[in-house]
Amino acid sequence: MRKRVIFITGASGEVGQALLKELAQQAENQILTMDLHPLPPELRNLSTHVEGDLLNLRLLARLVSEYEIDVIYHLAALLSTRAEIQPEEAHQVNVEATLQLLKIAAEESQWRKRSVQFIFPSSIAAYGLPDRETKAHFQRVREFEWNQPRTMYGCNKLYCEQLGSYFSRYYRQLAAEQPPTIDFRSVRFPGLISAYTIPSGGTSDYAPEMLHAAAQGIPYTCFVREEARIPFMVMPDAVRALLLLARAPRASLTRQVYNVTSFSLSAAQIRDRVLAAFPNAQITFQPDLKREAIVDSWPADIDDSAARMDWNWAPEYDVDRAFNDYLIPTIKQRYARSHL
C-alpha cells in the first residue's frame, strides 16, 4: 500500500527549508522532499528525502509507485539570473519538470477520484513593464496587468501559471467523461528576504546580500541604482502565504494566481536600514545596467487585494517588524555564532 505524503520539490532551497520546518510541526503530515542537494543536517529527520533530478522520469515513476501524493509544493526552479545565463536549461527545469509534475498530479487525481492540490510559487518576474515612466505611473499592479516578462525565468513562471490553470480546468476536456482535475493554486511572490539562508541567484537578491554582507563586515557593491524599487516580503510571511492559500476552501477562490506582498523599498532605503543596524557597513552602488533593467521591468508594488479578500491574506511583518524583529537580530545572531 502506498504511503500518503505531502511532496515538496526544491526542498533544500530558501523557501523549501522554511516550508519544511512549518509543515513538519504538524504531526499528521508525512513529508516527501526532493532536491538535487541534501537537506541541511538539522532538517534531515523531518522528511523522507530524495536527492535527484525532476527531469529523471524513471525516478519520478518510482516515487509515484511508492507514495500517494496529497499535495505538491513545487518549489524547484532555476532562478532569474542563472536562467538568463542558461535559458535552455532553465526552460527544461522550470517548464518541462513542472509539466511532468502536473501530469502526475492529474493522473493521481483521476486514480483517487479527487483532486491533488498543486501549490506553485510564481514571481513578480512574470511582469514586464516597458520603461521607468510606465513603472512610475502604475504604482500597484494587478495580476492580469503587464504580463510581458523580459526574462526566461519570468516567461517560465507565467507559462507554468497557464499550464496549471489548464490542468485544473480543461485537462482532457474532450474526453467522453472528463476526469477529476487537479486543484492548482499559485502565489506571485515579490522579492524574498531570509535571515537564515544565503541568496542564490535571484535578481532581487541585492536586498538580502546587502544585509548578510554587512553582518559579516564584508564591503558590498549593489548592482542597482539607489532609486530602484520593488516590493519585498520576509520568508516567514512567504511560507504563511503558501500555507494559507493551501488551506483556503476551494469555493472561496476567485482565481488561481494571486499576488502577495508586504512592503516596497528602494535600494537606498534598504541601505539606510542596514546602516542603522551596522554603522560600519560599506555599501556602494555600481549599477549593472543589464540586471538593473530587469529590476526596472518589475512593478514598484503589487496589488494583493484579491488574496486579502479571498483567503484573508495579510502579512505579519511590515517593514519595521521585518527589519527590527526578524532580519537584523537573527542575522546578527547567526554571524556572531559563526565567529565563536
Pair type for strands 183-189 and 220-222: unpaired
The CATH number that applies at residue 137 is 3.40.50.720
Is the residue at 19 inside a domain?
Answer: no
Q: Could you tell me the CA-to-CA distances from 83 to 63, 67, 154, 172, 304 in Å, in that order?
A: 27, 31, 9, 31, 27
* Each residue's pLDDT tens digit, 127-151: 999 999 999 999 899 999 999 999 9
Contact 300, 264 (CB under 8 A): yes
Asked if residue 164 belongs to a domain, the reply is yes
Q: How high is the pLDDT of residue 339?
A: 55
Give me the domain span that covers residue 116: 77-338
Number of domains the chain is built from:
1
Task: Determine, yes or no, domain membership for 45.
Answer: no
Helices 206-216, 328-338: axis angle to 10 degrees equals: 50
Q: Which three cell numbers stand for residue 326?
A: 526578524
**340 pLDDT more than 70:** no
Predicted pLDDT at 177: 85
pLDDT of amino acid 22? 94
Strand partners, 229: 266
Could you give the CA distance from residue 121 to residue 105 in angstroms, rounded to a whole number?
A: 16
Q: pLDDT (tens digit, 9 = 90+) per residue, 80-114?
A: 888 999 999 999 999 999 999 999 999 999 999 99
Query: Is 315 within the bounds of a domain?
Result: yes
Average pLDDT, the chain: 95
- Say if 268 falls within a structural domain: yes
Query: Buried b vs exposed e over 205-232: b needs ≥16 C-beta within 10 Å?
Result: bbbbbbbbbbbeeeebebbbbeebbbbb
Q: Is residue 71 part of a domain?
A: no
* 86 domain residue, yes or no: yes
Q: What is the pLDDT of residues 37-79, one digit of tens each?
A: 999 999 999 999 999 999 999 999 999 999 999 999 999 999 8
Question: Which of these ranges, 8-17, 53-62, 152-161, 197-206, has the smallest mean pLDDT?
Answer: 197-206
What pTM was computed for the model? 0.94
**Mutual orientation of helices 97-112 and 152-169 as an angle, nearest 10°?**
20
Question: Cβ distance 182 to 253 under 8 Å?
Answer: no
Indicate whether 246 belongs to any domain: yes
Mean pLDDT of 236-256: 97
Predicted local confidence at residue 27, as pLDDT = 67
